[in-house]
Structure 1
Amino acid sequence: MPHYLGIDVGTSAVKAILVDERQAAVAEAEVPLQVSRPQDLWSEQDPETWWWAVQAALKQIRATAGAAFGDVCGIGLSGQMHGAVLLDRDNRPLRPAILWNDGRSFREAEELRAQHPELSRAMGVIPMPGFTAPKLAWLARHEPETFRAVRKVILPKDYIRLKLTGDVVTEMSDAAGTWWLDQAKRDWSDAALAATGLTRDHMASLTEGSQVSGTLRPEIAEQWGLRNDVVVAGGGGDAAAGAVGLGAIEDGSAFISLGTSGQLFVTTEHFSPAPEALVHSFCHAVPGRWFQMAAMLNGASCLAWAAHLLKQDIGELLCKAEAAYRRPSTILFLPYLAGERTPHNDPYARGVIFGLSPETDQTDLVQAVLEGVAFSFADARRALEQAGTSLTHAGMIGGGSRSAFWARIFASVLNLPMVRYEGSDKGPAFGAARLARLATTGEAPETVCTTPNILETIEPEVHLVDLYRPRVEAFRSLYQALKPEFVPS
C-alpha cells in the first residue's frame, strides 16, 4: 500500500506525519527546536539543526511504523516562511538563518517601500522586516563580506529539500513570502531582485507545490530503507500547506491558524492584492489559486509563554481558566511578544498586561492572554474586510485549535462561527503529505484536498459578542497609546 510522508520545518519543532492511501495518519513524530536571539529583534536558527531534527523525527516514525515507512513513495515539505538561508558556492550555510520573526531589517524594509513603491502590488504586500528581501538588504549593509559570498538564497524547508534531493528548488507559496515573486505571473521579479542587489542566479528554481521537485538521493533512500524512486513534491509554506491539509483550496475557503504565529487565511481564485491594508496576497500551493492572509507574529506561542512564566502545564491552565470563565476579562493583554505584522507592521511592539489589581490571579492572566490573541485576530478580520474580503465562518487549525474553550472566545470576539475539525492540529505536515500524493499520482487537487470531518461548530454567543465589542476597542486604544513607548530611544 502506498504511503506519503509530510515534513513540516516549524519554528519550535520539526513535525512529520506518515499517511496511507486513505489519508489516515499511521505515525507522527515531533522534535523540538530552539531559537537563538543574540541581539534585540534578532531571531535565528542553524539550518543544520533542522536536518538533524528531520532525521530524528523520521527515526521515531520508522520505529513506530517501519513496514509502512518502507512503502513511502512521496515526500512533501512544509516550513516556516520568509527565512533567509544563505548558501555559498558549495551549498553550505554561510551563517545562521534569519527567521520570519526577526525584526532587524525594519530600516531596509522602509527604504524598499519608499524607493520602489510600484513593486508592492506585484509582490502582493508592502516590504516588511520579516520578509526575505529586506533581510538581504540588511546583510548587504551590515555583513557585506557575507553578502558578497552568497550564491543562493533559499527558504527553510528548501534546505531540507537540498539535503533530500541535492536540488535547489522552491515552490510558489513559499517564494511568495520573499518579496521577490511576481504573484500574478508566478515568476521571480527581476525588478524586485535588482532592488536588493540580486539576480535570478541567486534564486532557486520554481515549481508548483503539487508538482515533482526531484527524487530522493540514492544514499538517503538506502540509509532510510526506502525505494530509489521516491518523489519529493514542491510542498508549501506553512500557511498554504495548512490550507491544503484543511481542504481550503476553493475560492472563499477561510480558516484561522493558531500555531507559534497566527494567520487568518482566505483562498482566492484570482490574485487580489491589497498592500494598503497590510494584507498578504500570495500564491497558493496548488496551481491557479492564490490567497489573502492577515499574518500575526504571535499566536499560541503566547499561551506557551504564559505557561512557562506561571510554571504550569498548558492543559491545566486552560481547564482552570475555563472553569472560572464568566465574562470578558477586565485585564487587557497586548500579545506582541515578538512585534507585530498585520495590522501594525511594528517590530518594536511588545507584550503588555494592563489592568492588574490585588485580586488578579493566574486564571485571570490566562484568560487575558487567550482574549488578547483573539483580539489581534479581530484586527486581522478588519484588515481583510478593508481589502474587500468578508467572512461567514472560519475553520481552526494548529496547536491552539485543540482548545474548544479558546475557540469559544474566538467565536464571540470575531462574531463568527468557528469550525473545529478532526486532526486539525496536524496542520502543515498533513498538507505536505497531501502535496506529496498529488505529485506522485497526478490526481486533481480537489479529489485529494477534501475537508476533514467536523468535530464541532462553535457559534458566537450574543451576550458575549456585545460584551467583547468594547474590549476590542479598548485593546486597539491601548496599543495606540503605548506605540510611542515601544520605539527605542
Structure 2
Amino acid sequence: MGKYILCIDNGLTTTKSVIFTTDGKEIASSLINTVVENYGACAEIDMELQWKNTAYVIKESIKKSNINPSDIVGVGNSGHGAGLYCLDKVNKPVRKAVSSMDARAIKLLEEWDMEGKSSYKSLFQNLWSGQAIPILTWLKRNEPDSYKKIEKIFMVKDWIIYKLTGNAGIEYTDASNSGLLNPITKNTDKEVLKLFGIEEMFDKLPPLRKTTDIAGYVTKEASIETGLNFGTTVTGGVYDVIACALGSGVFDDDKYSLIAGTWNVNTGIREKLVYSAQTMKCSLFVDIDRYIYVESSATSAVNLEWFIDNVLKGIGLFDISNSRLYKIIDEKISQINAEESNIIYMPFLYKSQLSKNMEGSFFGIKAEHNVFNMLRALFEGVAFAHLMHIESLRNAGVVRNKAVLSGGATNSHVWCQIFSDILNMEIITTEASQVGALGTAVCTAIAIGEYNDFKKAIGIMVKDKNHYYPDAKRNEVYMRKYKEFRRVIDMFDKVGG
C-alpha cells in the first residue's frame, strides 16, 4: 500500500490535478482549460464553474492513477496569484471572480499616482490592477451593490480549499502577493485599506494560515463531487510562483527561479527587505521568514503558442501534433547560427511594463529570411524580455549566477541554450513535467509530517534533468542584438510619450 499526495493547480491557462508519490514521482494527472471570460479590460472567472472543473480533474486523475483514494494522505493546492474571489453572507459567490489579468482598475492606479497615494512603505510593492485593493475599490465605485454583499475575501486556491473543507482562510504567501499583508508586521494591514478608502474590508479577510498548516478535511459533499475520501487532509496551499520555485528546487539564495510560460516570471529569495524598482513585487516566502522578489510580465512562451496557432496553423496548413511541430522547430532553428539573422522580435502580445508603447512585432525581416529565422528571433526576444526583468532584480541586489528554468520553453533544448547564452548563466531544468504541482506536493508532504523541513523534502522530491552553460562568443553576439532590442523599445516609448 503506497502513500500519495494529490495536488491541484488552478492556473489561468489550465486547471490541473496531479498525483505524486511522497518521494516526488508523478503517477497521474488530468487537466482542463480554465475558462476566463475576457471582454474589454475585464477578465473574469465563474467561481462555481471553476470549482466544478476542479472537482472534475481531481476525479479524473484518481481514475487514471488506479489507486485507492484512501491511499491519498494529503491534498495540496496552488493557484494563480492575486485576483479576487468573494463570498456573501450565505457563502455563495457575490459575482464572478476577477482574475489577476483584469485591467479595469488601471485608471484608479493612475489617479492614485497623481494624488501621491502609495502603498510602498507598507507593502514594499506598488499596487497593480489585478490585486485585491484596486479591484475592491473599483467595485465600491462601480458596483456598490456587489461591494456591500462581500463577507469573505479569497484568492482562487482559498476558494477551492473552502469548497473542499468548508473552512475559510487566506494563506500568507497569497495574501502578501495580493497586497493584503504587511511584510514587516507579517499581518493584514487595516491602514493600507484605509489609505485607499476600503477599510471596511478589513473585517472581511479570513484568518491567515501557513502553507504547511492543515486547512481542514474533505467534507462528505466534496467527497461525492471529487472522488476523494471523506476526511482526507487538505493543507494550506501556496501561490503558484512560489510553488514553481520550490518544484524547481529553489529554496535558498543561490539561484533564480525562471518561469517561461504564459507569464515571464523571474524570482529571487532574500532574507531582508530591500527597496526595489517600481515594477518589482515583494512577498513573503513560504517559510514566512524570508522574502521572494518577483519581476514578471506576460511576455514569455505564450508568444510561441500564439505564433503556432495563428501563423503556422492559422490557415489550416498544418495537420500535425504540437509535439512533432516543436521537434521540427527545434531542428530547423538549431541550423541557424546566432549571427546569421538580425531580426528582432518584440514579445509584447499583451501589455507589459517593459514598454509603454511597444506591441508584438518583428523588425528587420529581409527577403532571404524564412519562418524559422522568425521563430529564432521569437526565441531570442522572449529571452531578452527575461533579461530585462533580471536586470531589475540585479539592480535591487538580487544577484545570482545560475537559474532553474521551468515552463513551456524547457521543451526545447535550443531555447534553453539560448536562455543560457543570453542571460550568461548556467540554466538548469528538472525532471518534473508539472513543476508547480510538485512544489505544492513538497509543501503538502511537510504539512502532513512526511518530511521535517523544506530542504530535506526538496532534496528527495526534486531531481535535476539538464544543465546548459553559456558560450562567451554567442553571448557577445546576443548582447549586440539586445542593445538593438532596447534601442527599439526606447525609440517607441519616446515617440509615444
TM-score (norm 1): 0.92
Go from structure 1 to structure 2 and tell me whether the alpha carbon gap of 1:227 and 1:389 turns closer, same or farther (over 3 Å shift).
same
2:270/2:398 contact within 8 Å kept? no
> Cα distance, 1:103 vs. partner?
2.1
**One-letter amino acid of the counterpart of residue 379, structure 1:** M
State the SS of the aligned residue for 2:387: helix
**One-letter amino acid of the counterpart of residue 303, structure 2:** C
State the SS of the aligned residue for 1:70: helix
1:231/1:439 contact within 8 Å kept? no
Go from structure 1 to structure 2 and tell me whether the alpha carbon gap of 1:135 and 1:486 turns closer, same or farther (over 3 Å shift).
farther
> What corresponds to 1:467 in structure 2?
477
> Cα distance, 1:225 vs. partner?
4.6
For residues 435 and 113 of structure 1, the distance between their equivalents in structure 2, rounded to whole angstroms, comes to 38
For residues 48 and 332 of structure 2, the distance between their equivalents in structure 1, rounded to whole angstroms, comes to 39
1:256/1:396 contact within 8 Å kept? yes
Indicate whether 1:479 and 2:481 are aligned.
no
The number of residues matched between the two structures is 481
For residues 47 and 321 of structure 1, the distance between their equivalents in structure 2, rounded to whole angstroms, comes to 43
> What corresponds to 1:324 in structure 2?
335
> Cα distance, 1:433 vs. partner?
1.7
Between 1:146-155 and 1:373-382, the stretch displaced more is 146-155
> What corresponds to 2:284 in structure 1?
283
For residues 124 and 113 of structure 2, the distance between their equivalents in structure 1, rounded to whole angstroms, comes to 13
Go from structure 1 to structure 2 and tell me whether the alpha carbon gap of 1:88 and 1:253 turns closer, same or farther (over 3 Å shift).
same
**One-letter amino acid of the counterpart of residue 428, structure 1:** G
For residues 196 and 231 of structure 1, the distance between their equivalents in structure 2, rounded to whole angstroms, comes to 39
Matching residue within 211, 214, 218 for 1:212: 214
Matching residue within 347, 356, 370 for 2:379: 370
> Cα distance, 1:91 vs. partner?
2.5
> Cα distance, 1:484 vs. partner?
6.1
> Cα distance, 1:254 vs. partner?
1.8
For residues 26 and 386 of structure 2, the distance between their equivalents in structure 1, rounded to whole angstroms, comes to 30
Indicate whether 1:385 and 2:394 are aligned.
yes
Indicate whether 1:221 and 2:223 are aligned.
yes
> Cα distance, 1:109 vs. partner?
2.0
For residues 349 and 440 of structure 1, the distance between their equivalents in structure 2, rounded to whole angstroms, comes to 48
Alignment of 1:51-90 (within 5 A): 51-90=51-90
For residues 228 and 133 of structure 2, the distance between their equivalents in structure 1, rounded to whole angstroms, comes to 37
Partner deviation per Cα, 1:349-373 (whole Å, 9 max, x = no partner): 5322222333442212221221111
> Cα distance, 1:380 vs. partner?
0.8
> Cα distance, 1:89 vs. partner?
2.0
Matching residue within 246, 269, 272 for 2:271: 269
For residues 173 and 207 of structure 1, the distance between their equivalents in structure 2, rounded to whole angstroms, comes to 9
Partner deviation per Cα, 1:30-78 (whole Å, 9 max, x = no partner): 2122332211x33222222322221221222122123244311211110
State the SS of the aligned residue for 2:100: coil
2:330/2:412 contact within 8 Å kept? no
Q: Percent identity between the aligned chains?
A: 22
TM-score (norm 2): 0.90
1:171/1:207 contact within 8 Å kept? yes
Between 1:273-282 and 1:57-66, the stretch displaced more is 273-282
Indicate whether 1:452 and 2:462 are aligned.
yes
> Cα distance, 1:266 vs. partner?
1.0
Go from structure 1 to structure 2 and tell me whether the alpha carbon gap of 1:56 and 1:23 turns closer, same or farther (over 3 Å shift).
same
> Cα distance, 1:196 vs. partner?
4.3
Indicate whether 1:337 and 2:349 are aligned.
yes
> What corresponds to 2:169 in structure 1?
169
State the SS of the aligned residue for 1:449: helix
- Provide structure 2 residue ranges, at least 5 long, that are not aligned to the other structure: none
> What corresponds to 2:31 in structure 1?
30
1:18/1:69 contact within 8 Å kept? no
> Cα distance, 1:239 vs. partner?
0.3
> Cα distance, 1:204 vs. partner?
2.5
**One-letter amino acid of the counterpart of residue 230, structure 2:** N
> Cα distance, 1:388 vs. partner?
0.9
**One-letter amino acid of the counterpart of residue 477, structure 2:** L
For residues 138 and 146 of structure 2, the distance between their equivalents in structure 1, rounded to whole angstroms, comes to 11
> What corresponds to 1:237 in structure 2?
239
> Cα distance, 1:241 vs. partner?
0.9
1:282/1:290 contact within 8 Å kept? yes
What is the alpha-carbon root mean square deviation over aligned residues?
Answer: 2.2
For residues 274 and 109 of structure 2, the distance between their equivalents in structure 1, rounded to whole angstroms, comes to 18
For residues 302 and 475 of structure 1, the distance between their equivalents in structure 2, rounded to whole angstroms, comes to 16
**One-letter amino acid of the counterpart of residue 315, structure 1:** Y
1:417/1:458 contact within 8 Å kept? yes
2:259/2:266 contact within 8 Å kept? yes
2:303/2:378 contact within 8 Å kept? yes
For residues 234 and 346 of structure 2, the distance between their equivalents in structure 1, rounded to whole angstroms, comes to 41
Alignment of 1:38-437 (within 5 A): 38-39=39-40, 41-113=41-113, 115=115, 117=117, 119-194=119-194, 195-198=196-199, 199-270=201-272, 272-309=273-310, 310-311=312-313, 313=322, 314-316=325-327, 318-327=329-338, 329-341=341-353, 343=354, 350-423=359-432, 425-437=433-445
For residues 3 and 22 of structure 1, the distance between their equivalents in structure 2, rounded to whole angstroms, comes to 9
Go from structure 1 to structure 2 and tell me whether the alpha carbon gap of 1:196 and 1:242 turns closer, same or farther (over 3 Å shift).
farther
- Provide structure 1 residue ranges, at least 5 long, that are not aligned to the other structure: none
Go from structure 1 to structure 2 and tell me whether the alpha carbon gap of 1:128 and 1:406 turns closer, same or farther (over 3 Å shift).
same
Partner deviation per Cα, 1:401-439 (whole Å, 9 max, x = no partner): 22211111111111111111111x312111112212211
**One-letter amino acid of the counterpart of residue 26, structure 1:** I
> Cα distance, 1:157 vs. partner?
1.5
For residues 477 and 130 of structure 1, the distance between their equivalents in structure 2, rounded to whole angstroms, comes to 30
1:71/1:226 contact within 8 Å kept? no
